[in-house]
Structures are given as C-alpha cells and as structure tokens.
Amino acid sequence: MDALLGALADPARRRLVRLLAERPRPVGVLAQLAGARQPQTTKHLQTLERAGIVTSQRTGQRRIYALQAAPLRDLAAELNRLADTADQAGGPRATYDRYGLSLRAERFAAEGPGWADGRLFGFHRSLPGRPELVWRHLTEASLLARWWTPDDLRVSELVFEARPGGRIVQEYRDAEDADGSGPVAGRAAGVVEDVRHGERLGYRLSPVLPDGRIAFTAHVALGLRPTAAGTDLDVHWRIADSTVDSADFIAGIEIGFGQSLDKLVAALAADPHGTDGTDSTDTRSAQ
C-alpha cells in the first residue's frame, strides 16, 4: 500500500494513470498526450509498474502499457473503509463536530467575567445497580476513576474525600497516554459540601487553567432514588465564577459529563452486584 500511495503521489504519474484508464497506450503516445519528454515518461511508467499499478509488454519496436485495475480497487476499498469508520453515526468524529459547534458558540458568548454564571445543566440516568453500589461508584476514588472522564480521557490522579469539607482533586490525561509521558490534559480541585449516604451528594469543583487560575466553579448536586430495576440518578450543575477563559470547558460539559455517566452505566452493568473485589475503604486516591 505504501508503494502504491508513493507512486500516485506525483501529479505527472496520476496523469498517466488517467490516460491508461482510457485504454492501453505506448510510451511515445503517452508522452505526447501528457506533454512531457519520453525519457521522463518512461521513468514514471517504470515507477508505476514497480508499484503494480501498470503492466507492459513489447510489441515490435513499441512498449505498450496498460492499467492494472485490482490495486486501485484495493486502495479505493481501504480508503472507503477509513471514511466509513470516520463517518460512523454517533462516533468520535460526530462528537468532535458537535463539540466544535458548542465551542464556537460559547467563545462568542464569553464577553467578560461572569458571562456564564447561573447556567444550569441537568442529567438523568437509570442505573443497573442498587443505591448502595451506585454510591460507592460516586464516592470511592478507585471506582470513580473508572468513569469520571469523557471517552477520550483517563483519570491519572484522584482524591475524593466523601465527607463535608472533604477535598476533591482530579487530574486527567489523554486516554491513549498510557505511560503518562504526555502533557496533563486538565486538572480540577474542589470541596465536598453535602453528604447523605446513598441518597444525596453535593460538591463544588473548579477546573484549573494552566496558569493556576480557576476557570469557573461548578456546584454539582447528585440525587439517588431506588427503583425496581436499580437506581435513578439525577445530576444538576450550576455554573458560578465564570471567566472568559472558561468557554472551552463549559462548551464540553454537556457532552463530556454525559459520556462520563454513560461509562458509569456500563461499569455498573458489568458488575451489578459489586463483586469486583474493590476495597471499599480506599476512598482517597487512585492513579
């Protein structure tokens, strides 16, 4: 495939391919039609032949070249597979485009300090687990780390002290940065404010800008309610202390936290009875 792409990278060789797609032709005619010198045309044809794109045979004093369709069909099929992967409905590219629209809108709206104060975001999920298990996933750092980021990120450091006044520290990196050699993608810090075991959890959390300033503060309230099938979870965000630099963060709340909650649903579905062996006493940090 590399040889094929390399051979087709030159515009002059692509012109010869187009001419040969019409019918087999001798070198001299190809040179005339392409407006090129015959020695240079011969070199281009030899490159295409080594790549398997054309074949040739000598007839008397002439060498006739013909196009090989199969390699081009293979290339087209591979390119179509790549395009189909990129364009899959609801896939990463669709999320990228959706975030781009939100990003442009929020940057346009961010005219000064406090521009997003009072903004509300609401989320609801029906979870396949009893409230006690859901509570563990909301408050134990080792379980939080499994879901508390969007799809393209991973938690690299986490402190969550599930008591009033308890600290929250969240650091995250690119999901594919397995060894932590890349830059930190983001960091947030906060404080737990309201704890009613198995029923209600409230905290404030502030993303931190690269220069150490706070981008904004999110006041987050989570409510749990038992159902016949598991637990209903309602989450409410309220934005305060928003700066102009918070636009990029706020643009991603709906998409990013929605993805996080979907990961929580998947984690609970994979272990609905809490049989993963996680030590429930480890509620401070996970890396």
Residue ranges of the domains in the chain? 2-86, 113-286
Structure confidence at residue 287 (pLDDT) = 36
Tell me: the pLDDT tens digits for 148-184? Answer: 999 999 999 999 999 999 999 999 999 999 888 999 9
Eight-state DSSP code of residue 214? B
For residues 123-149, give the mean pLDDT.
96
Integer Cα distance of 85 and 92 in angstroms: 9
CATH topology identical between 2-86 and 113-286: no
Integer Cα distance of 51 and 269 in angstroms: 50
Average pLDDT along the chain: 93
For residues 84-98, give the mean pLDDT.
89
Q: Which two tokens stand for residue 143?
A: 């379980």
For residues 234-243, give the mean pLDDT.
98
Between the alpha carbon of residue 114 and those of residues 119, 189, 193, the distances in Å are: 10, 19, 22
Structure confidence at residue 283 (pLDDT) = 37
Residue 265 φ/ψ, nearest 5 degrees: -55, -45
Query: Is the per-residue pLDDT at 282 higher than 90?
Result: no
| Domain 113-286 architecture | 2-Layer Sandwich (3.30)
pLDDT classification of 88: cutoffs 50, 70, 90: confident
Please tell me whether residue 275 adopts helix, strand or coil conformation: coil
pLDDT classification of 275: cutoffs 50, 70, 90: low
Query: HSE (CB half, 13 Å, CA atoms) of 239?
Result: 23
Structure confidence at residue 276 (pLDDT) = 55
Please state, as a whole number, how many other Cβ atoms lie within 10 Å of the Cβ of residue 124. 11
Q: For a pLDDT cut of 90, what percent of the chain falls above it?
A: 87
Structure confidence at residue 145 (pLDDT) = 95
CA 54 vs. chain centroid, Å, equals 40
Residue whose C-alpha is closest to residue 147's, from 254, 36, 264, 256: 264
For residues 6-24, give the mean pLDDT.
97
**Cβ contacts of 67 within 8 Å, gap of 6 or more:** 17, 20, 21, 24, 53, 54
- Please give the class, per CATH, of domain 2-86: mainly alpha
Integer Cα distance of 245 and 182 in angstroms: 23
